[in-house]
Amino acid sequence: MIPTAFEYFRPANLSEALALLEQYKDEAKLLAGGHSLIPLMKLRLAQPQYVIDLGGVKELSYIRESGEHLLIGAMTRHVDVETSEMLRQRCPLLAETAHRIGDVQVRNMGTIGGSLAHADPAADYPAAILALGAELRAVSTKGERWIRAEDFFVDMLTTALQPGEILVEVKVPALGPRTGTAYVKVAQKASGFALCGVAVVLAVDPNGVCQDVAVGITGIAPKAYRARAVEEALRGRALDASVIANASAKATEGIDPLEDLHASAEYRAHLARVWCRRAIEQARESV
């Protein structure tokens, strides 16, 4: 199928993009990398009258340091996140997660902001963003605001972004010493999306005792989530095999796993437990 007719804009800067979005409101859609919106338009599941292409807004493509944080522009491509030496050194979880997204073509075109704003329940970035305790900056013609990652993902394909707002930046912490990270997933073979993806940020003391931990899980529920029960079961404990296994068994505590043609709810819950354990073990080994 082909999309319904629409009017196309390619603003040169953020101010132009915001003005267009303010003018056309709900009749407009933002285009970032295009890997989500264009298929929806071809299937006529989305029929915007106006498409605002952010590809010309070069000011939103960057990776830079700001004190103890790293800032990533929303139009930064997956491949740039994947290959950034700064991220590999100071926040390797994001680079590792980007490496596992889709295929080479997707990583060369897709953007971190587009992926997060689309909020696909099987996308990879949300697990990492949650585990890192990231903040996301949204801008409109009325001003700007920061949104915590835990507040950003509201439901399936739904975020905390308000009408007229554009996600412009992601802020993540530069990780300290004795901190390990991991992102592992079971991918749906045709699409590369996660049937289950687990991101872990793990800080341990010299004796191997867990000082702090954050676990983000995607692909299991209508939105990515923090596995709080797993985290509580690990903090202050020596990370031996039994402790990790017992904690990982809580990966879906309080969660109703999705059930669809790709996997049953029971199977997704099983994947969450198994891959949570593997992610924690991998993060421990990377310290």
- CATH 3.30.465.10 for domain 59-173: yes
Question: Does the pLDDT value for residue 190 go beyond 90?
Answer: no
* Average pLDDT along the chain: 96
Considering the chain, tell me which residue range(s) the CATH 3.30.43.10 domain(s) occupy.
7-56
- The CATH number given to 179-286 is 3.30.390.50
The pLDDT of residue 125: 98
Collapse the DSSP code of 251 into the 3-class scheme (helix H, G, I; strand E, B; otherwise coil) and give the result: coil
pLDDT band at 229 (very low <50, low <70, confident <90, very high): very high
Q: What's the pLDDT tens digit per position in 230-266?
A: 999 999 999 999 999 999 999 999 999 999 999 999 9
Collapse the DSSP code of 181 into the 3-class scheme (helix H, G, I; strand E, B; otherwise coil) and give the result: strand
Collapse the DSSP code of 225 into the 3-class scheme (helix H, G, I; strand E, B; otherwise coil) and give the result: strand
Closest-CA residue to 159 (of 170, 169, 150): 150
What is the pTM for the complete model shown? 0.96
Q: What's the pLDDT tens digit per position in 42-88?
A: 999 999 999 999 999 999 999 999 999 999 999 999 999 999 999 99
The pLDDT of residue 176: 92
Cα separations in angstroms, 212 against 166, 174, 178, 224, 238: 33, 15, 11, 20, 12
Burial letters for 24-40: b for 16+ Cβ neighbours within 10 Å, e otherwise?
beeebbbbbbbbbbeeb
Closest-CA residue to 100 (of 122, 71, 75, 130): 122
Dihedral sign from CA coordinates of 273, 279, 285, 287: negative
**Mean pLDDT for the stretch of residues 108-136:** 97
- Distance (Å, rounded) from C-alpha 217 to C-alpha 279? 10
Residue type, 110: G
Task: Tell me the CATH class for 7-56.
Answer: alpha beta
**Mean pLDDT for the stretch of residues 19-39:** 95
If you count them, how many residues does the chain have?
287
What sections of 25-164 are H helices per DSSP? 37-42, 78-83, 85-90, 92-99, 104-109, 112-118, 125-131, 149-152
Block residue for tokens 């106006």? 50
**Mean pLDDT for the stretch of residues 144-162:** 97
Collapse the DSSP code of 183 into the 3-class scheme (helix H, G, I; strand E, B; otherwise coil) and give the result: strand
Closest-CA residue to 161 (of 119, 124, 132): 119
Question: Does the pLDDT value for residue 35 go beyond 90?
Answer: no
Question: Does the pLDDT value for residue 285 go beyond 90?
Answer: yes
**Mean pLDDT for the stretch of residues 266-284:** 98
The pLDDT of residue 194: 95
Considering the chain, tell me which residue range(s) the CATH 3.30.390.50 domain(s) occupy.
179-286
Percentage of residues of the chain with pLDDT beyond 70:
100
211 neighbors 202 (Cβ within 8 angstroms) = no
